Amino acid sequence: MNRPPFLHRLLKLVPVCVLPVFAHAEPGPPPPSGPNVLFIAIDDLRTELGCYGVEEVSSPHIDRLAGKGMLFRRAYVQYPVCNPSRSSFLSGLRPNETGIVSNTVPFRKELPDLVTLPQAFRRNGWYTAGIGKIFHLGMDPKGRPALFQDPASWDHFFDKLNGAPRIGRTGEGRNLTDGRLKWCEWRAAEGGDPAQPDWLNTTEALRVLEDHADKPFFIALGLHKPHDPFIAPKEYFERYPEGSTRLADPPADRSPREPLAIPNDRDFAHFTDTERREFKRAYQACVSFADAQVGRILEAMDRLELWEDTIVVLVGDHGYHLGEHDWWNKVTVFELGARAPMIIWAPGSGAMGKETSAIVEFIDLYPTLMELASLQAPHPLSGTSLRPILENPAHPGKQAAYTQVNRGKKVGRSVRTDHWRYTEWGPSGAHGIELYRHPEDPGEYYNLATAEKHAATRAKLKELLDAVLPAGPQK
């Protein structure tokens, strides 16, 4: 994005913790008559929620939203890493179309003129506010993580990622790798909720919601937790008594893992059950803390009587492993890396209060919100509107969902159908092929790629994969 030199210098001086956005001089559209949109993105949240059947996790507020709206049981991201995933669903394009396949490429460097999802609403007269992590993290002038604001998308932007009280970073905890992985740290923090960035950001979201409840808005709240480091007020750790955490229990006769299926796991290979329990307990505590912030937003929706006029979307930005396949992170195209939470409340839709097992993709969010708001998409979109499913949970959805990930210059491409996941590493699987049968093998531990009896299935899935994610070089 080209800025006048003086504006570029001015923006560099604005503190990252509170960032008002400088509006573009675009023609003012007529006041819109469409619905409000409340978009909640929760960083690194896998389906580790009560509403997805994880009974040991306390998530009553997200569970409430799932019971009110529609819970999507099989929603798949297009890239299991923050920046590529968010760039994909906020543009309505696949990662091989955006060219963004890492956390290091700024969104606007690759897509300087693309109209993002919130920007499309802003252009049509909606008031837009981005609070917390919506687009991916960058770095501020002091080298600390900072949020990318994208002035074209927001009338107002705010983040307290680096501005919370210091006490919120103190308390019991440790690094689980003796410092080898700086991020792999947990802390049962002092200071309660108000000492955490997510509480401060949610407080700002509540203020904006109060101030703009009488006009069409697109408010996006991005919660940082449960993303590492796993810091949450100690009260949330107390919900999970020490020693009670249930660990993943992979089958002893699992297939040998393809070398590229997960990144190098040498740091996690040293984990004892003590470290494993501490990691998962801390992740779950952070989930409960994030859930509490969602509860504050839902209470405001009740108090301001906004439900009948407001679409609510809640998503995680990709999946996550908590010890499955000996992995404790994201960046995989296994089911646990590719599948993520998606909940939508669409007032007036016929299937609210239902859940669906239809296969959907995160790139479907952009066209869905365009249709629900009676807007025209500003560019061709690669997703499909979810409105038919919001009206009928038995709607079959898509034939397949597609996820990709890079290992250096080697690309993993994966397709998920009703009963199968098929993955190729490198062109035509030169660096490995995986084939898993669902629901008999939900953990994807038994690779059937070399079984002769599945040759026809493999060929059909390869055809589906190549049709949508060609094996050629990335953009």
Asked which of 57-66, 244-253, 261-270 is least confident by mean pLDDT, the reply is: 261-270
pLDDT for residue 143: 62
* Token code pair at residue 96: 């091989």
Residue 110, domain member (yes or no): yes
- Is 434 inside any structural domain? no
77 within 8 A of 67, measured Cβ to Cβ = no
Q: How far is CA 356 from the centre of its chain?
A: 19
Strand-pair partners of 158: 131
From 14-23, 108-117, 313-322, the region with the lowest mean pLDDT: 14-23
Name the 3-class secondary structure at 186: strand
Which of 22-26, 208-212, 366-370 shows the lowest per-residue confidence on average (mean pLDDT)? 22-26
**What is the token pair recorded at 383?**
């997703």
- 37-86 per-position pLDDT tens digit: 999 999 999 999 999 999 999 999 999 999 999 999 999 999 999 999 99
The DSSP string of 349-376 is: -TTTT-EEEEEEEGGGHHHHHHHHTT--
In degrees and rounded to multiples of 5, residue 469 shows phi and psi of -120, 80
Residue 239 within any structural domain of the chain? yes
Is 264 part of a structural domain of the chain? Answer: yes
Q: Would residue 309 count as lying in a domain?
A: yes
pTM above 0.85, yes or no: yes
pLDDT of 22 reads 39
The enclosing H or E element of 82 equals helix 82-89
Question: Exposed, middle or buried: residue 371 (CB in 10 Å: 0-12, 13-18, 19+)?
Answer: middle
188 to 168, 174, 184, 196, 230: CA distances (angstroms): 9, 10, 14, 12, 9
pLDDT at residue 137, rounded to an integer = 67
Q: Which tens digits make up the pLDDT trace of 404-457? A: 999 999 999 999 999 999 999 999 999 999 999 999 999 999 999 999 999 999
Return the number of other C-beta atoms located less than 10 Å from residue 197's C-beta.
22
| Cα 410 to Cα 99, 147, 407, 426, distances in angstroms | 15, 29, 5, 5
**Residue 204: inside a domain:** yes
Q: Which of 26-40, 227-241, 445-459 has the lowest mean pLDDT?
A: 26-40
Tell me the C-alpha distance between 367 and 314, whole Å. Answer: 16
Examine the pLDDT at 142 and tell me if it is beyond 80. Answer: no
Residue-range definition of the domain harbouring residue 133: 5-26+34-399
| Mean pLDDT along residues 8-37 | 53
CB 223 within 8 A of CB 133: yes
Q: What is the pLDDT of residue 21?
A: 40
Residue 345 lies in a domain: yes
Q: Is position 192 within any domain?
A: yes
**Mean pLDDT score across all residues of the chain:** 92
The total number of structural domains that make up the chain: 1
CATH code of the domain covering residue 233: 3.40.720.10
